[in-house]
Structure 1
Amino acid sequence: MQNVTKEEQLIETSAYVSVSAPKHALFLVTKRTMDILGALFGIVILLPVLVLVALLIKLEDPKGPVLFKQQRVGRNGKPFNMYKFRSMVANAEELLEQLLDKNEVNGNMFKMKEDPRITAIGKLIRKTSLDELPQLFNVLKGEMSLVGPRPPLPREVQKYTAYHWKRLEITPGCTGLWQVSGRNSVGFEEMVELDLEYIRRRSLLYDVKIIFKTVWILIRPNDAY
């Protein structure tokens, strides 16, 4: 009997149908309202932190930019520019090709614990996830939500199967089930399953729970790198 791969079994059993169940318009409007209010609240409350991080980055590398703008893939495959505080050397993208063979996670992601491109300040803000704070501006622009799947890189999406594409059915988030479930200790396929679980279960209460878990991670050491 011919061996059948997991992907082929999923296709044969029609498992590639959308996992994003239709949501009532009230849910979508309320979630968007929560995103806007939450992002504005976060920017105002964390403004001193945003300014301090920006100053530290500039002091360490006066010639480099404070913000790092990177193209990511959003809902339904639409590209957008995601903002982060720069935590790597200015030419980090150019150096990536030399490090791809040192990837420490399985699947279509690149993670390296001792990445030589990361700056001293970068290590600190990554450990505390402060480098992610500028994504609040992406939320205001409607490109991201407070909670949702991690927005992937275009080169990652090029390797996606139809099953992986399901995680792009909704707006990506600043935080999500993957981020509060082990993050760098979770491989790519496990991340996909966590994202699909979130898509199936998503609700305003579920979002609030994930946000509170994220805040807790921000104030204690975690495995981010």
Structure 2
Amino acid sequence: MFTGLIEDVGTVRRLEKQGMAGRITVATKLPLESIALGDSVAVNGACLTAVAKSGNELTFDASPETLARTTLGTLGIGTPVNLERALRLGDRLGGHIVTGHVDFIATVSERNDIAGNRVFVFRIPVEFSRYLVAKGSVTIDGISLTVNTVSDTGFSVNIIPHTGSMTTLSGINPGAQVNIETDILGKYIERLLSRGSIPREEGGLTLELLAKSGFL
């Protein structure tokens, strides 16, 4: 589990294809002594397992599913990537609950610079728009952000200068593709309602029902 607060922007050193799977090596300023082999690290929002480390480099295995559902398989040598170590019990949750399981790939359709901030508009598959709400949370390439606006085909976010300088977002432009993870709470609620676990005749979805079901 992660928070969406980026700890370092690493650089891709090697990408080795192994059939439909792959192995990614990233140079990083993260303290490697704090990362054991087998630990989880979010790389551009995708939860990967550290399988080797040497010098200032970490190596991760990527499954066929990961490469198919994310942008990791298209990374080039020298590409910057957002890195975050897994959340430790007792750490502050400064972003939101992030699983590192990417839902889909979105495309940047607009970038507008306004008063030192950057506003990005992303084009998304229509079937995922129901998981996004204005002022809700979304993860873009591993970064916890607040949704500004939502439509059936996309959404927008505002990037403050600090976030831009500490992540890869300052370097993306229209046409770029990014990994998106929607808020896990919304997906659980949808699943709960679709299976009839919350009786609709009791007044629909209320704070009391969410509390009884363990969401609050």
Give TM-score, length-normalised by structure 1.
Answer: 0.25
Select the structure that is richer in helix: 1
Select the structure that is richer in strand: 2
Give TM-score, length-normalised by structure 2.
Answer: 0.25
